[in-house]
Amino acid sequence: MASAHGPISVGLIANPVSARDIRRVIANASNLQISDRVNIVLRALSAMHSCGVEHVLMMPDRGGIRQLLTRSLQRERNLHHSFPAVEFLDMPTTSTVDDTFAAARLLREAGVAAIVVLGGDGTHRAVVRECSDIPIAGLSTGTNNAFPELREPTITGMAVGLFASGRIDRADAIALNKRLDVCITDAAGRERRDIAIVDAVISSERVIGARALWKTENLAAAYVTFADPQAIGLSAIAGLLQPVGRREPGGLAVQLSDDPARRRVVLHAPIAPGMVRPVGISEWAPMRAGELHIVAQAAGVVALDGERELAFDEVDRVTVTLVDNAFPTVDVARCMHAAAAKGLFRLSSP
């Protein structure tokens, strides 16, 4: 917590199993080893400390990050390299997304100034779902990384440190992001709710099964918060159709079909790393904030940010609503530009 009464604290969630789903088998998705993830964490920690962060609260894990990081920090400190004090959260671990949910809640309760997240779209979604009021800074280590920008961890760590220490004003440091709210209402009126930060995709498949979604012939619709033609994953379908910027208001709703009588266009889309597939599109339209979109598919599953999460039946009503300005992220580029303009990197002459 950035306070005159205690050390400046930042949270850190490093997913040890991101980029290890079925897309490693059916496509050419990368898989960072634990040593690579620890190296990313070390670079971010060192940079945060150089810009004023004194204390980092970190999610524990069973995958080996904690053990290797502890050894690495001891070795680096013996070489007189500086790092913030690292404290692991007191929580059980399951090696599932529940660890991320629990860690995010504990970090919110601890009052951290920001949360650095290592993972893909799913990991970032899990953090946002539990603490949408705390700025996050993403480091891309997942399979589909539409949301976390690919950037050197040292620069991300510096930007987080500048913001957390109060050296950069919030107005110069924070960007607001869009979110999709998904609601499934059954015949008795009971509701299930969840969110997506990149895309909510409707598939005609009836079971969750392997969580990653990659079979284009089963896709019925895609709703996206932003549509980047350079993205990988299901949001790339919208990006190649009608780009929508991260900071632009609204999103895009796309209806898909393999039926030659219905489809208006066929896209050549990179739906996973190394996997480019034809995707039939029947129609598309802008999504305006607060506008309720009713899913036409009678039964199937909803994939949130690339992973199957919610199954629904014929009697269920599925809606998707876009929310503008839903959660904050640390805008690394703006932070660094503001810091440079203020001369914060200039050392005084000897």
Structure tokens at 284: 């598309």
Residue 97 sits in which domain range?
9-167
Q: What is the pLDDT of residue 48?
A: 97
- Measure the CA–CA gap between 48 and 137, rounded to whole angstroms: 12
pLDDT digits (tens, 9 = 90+) for 234-249: 889 999 999 999 999 9
Please count the structural domains in the chain.
Answer: 2
Q: What is the pLDDT of residue 22?
A: 43
What is the average pLDDT score of the chain?
90
For every residue of 67-117, DSSP letters joined together read HHHHHHHHHHHHTT----EEEE------SSHHHHHHHHHHHHHHT-S-EEE
CATH of the domain at 285: 2.60.200.30
CATH of the domain at 42: 3.40.50.10330
- Measure the CA–CA gap between 264 and 289, rounded to whole angstroms: 26
- Measure the CA–CA gap between 61 and 271, rounded to whole angstroms: 30
332, part of any domain = no
Under 8 Å CB-to-CB from 222, ≥6 apart: which residues?
199, 200, 201, 202, 234, 235, 237, 238, 253, 254, 256
152 and 206 housed in the same domain: no
78, part of any domain = yes
| Dihedral sign from CA coordinates of 31, 132, 152, 95 | negative
Instruction: Please give the torsion angle defined by the CA atoms of residues 258, 226, 328 and 170, in that order, rounded to the nearest 10 degrees.
Output: 170
256, part of any domain = yes
38, part of any domain = yes
Under 8 Å CB-to-CB from 341, ≥6 apart: which residues?
none
15 and 157 housed in the same domain: yes
Give yes or no for residue 4 having a pLDDT over 50: no
136 and 261 housed in the same domain: no
Q: What is the pLDDT of residue 23?
A: 44
More confident residue, 80 or 159: 159
16 and 115 housed in the same domain: yes
Q: What is the pLDDT of residue 350?
A: 55
Q: Which of 118, 145, 167 corresponds to the end of one domain?
A: 167
Q: What is the pLDDT of residue 271?
A: 85
Q: What is the pLDDT of residue 21?
A: 47
pLDDT > 70 fraction of the chain, expressed in percent and rounded: 91
More confident residue, 6 or 314: 314
163 and 188 housed in the same domain: no
- Measure the CA–CA gap between 161 and 274, rounded to whole angstroms: 35
185 and 291 housed in the same domain: yes
55, part of any domain = yes
58 and 201 housed in the same domain: no
Determine the average pLDDT of the residues in 95-122: 96
| Dihedral sign from CA coordinates of 313, 316, 317, 319 | negative
137 and 211 housed in the same domain: no
3, part of any domain = no
186 and 154 housed in the same domain: no
pLDDT digits (tens, 9 = 90+) for 258-304: 899 999 999 999 988 888 999 999 999 999 999 999 999 999 999 99
Q: What is the pLDDT of residue 215?
A: 72
Q: State the CB neighbour count (10 A cutoff) for residue 152.
A: 14
Q: Roughly how many angstroms between the first and final C-alpha of the chain, as a whole number?
A: 33
Q: State the CB neighbour count (10 A cutoff) for residue 333.
A: 12
184 and 297 housed in the same domain: yes
153 and 92 housed in the same domain: yes
Do 61 and 103 contact (CB within 8 A), yes or no?
no
pLDDT digits (tens, 9 = 90+) for 185-213: 999 999 999 999 999 999 998 776 555 55
pLDDT digits (tens, 9 = 90+) for 139-157: 998 766 789 988 999 999 9
234 and 319 housed in the same domain: yes
pLDDT > 90 fraction of the chain, expressed in percent and rounded: 77
124, part of any domain = yes
73, part of any domain = yes
